[in-house]
Amino acid sequence: MYIVVIAPECAPVLRALGKASMAWYEKPRSFKEIMLADMKAAYSWGSAADEYLILYNRIPGKW
């Protein structure tokens, strides 16, 4: 027996996973097209790290 407690912050992720699994099951061809398009997108930490650095440098009284 497992007890799973899910934080409220996880709800959007769980909804997205539910939608993705339904798309995969109901429309596998469309899902594959979406998957391949998303795999071509750039999801690197490079740009995100630059944005975090800009925010960090705007914090008053840091170090």
Domain residue limits, the chain: 21-63
Distances in Å between the Cα of 51 and the Cα atoms of 29, 38, 46, 54, 55 are 36, 22, 9, 5, 6
How many Å apart are CA 38 and CA 18, to the nearest integer? 17
pLDDT of 7 over the 80 cut? no
How many Å apart are CA 4 and CA 57, to the nearest integer? 39
Per-residue model confidence (pLDDT) at position 24 = 85
8-55 pLDDT, tens digit per residue, is 788 888 888 888 888 888 988 888 888 888 888 777 777 788 888 898
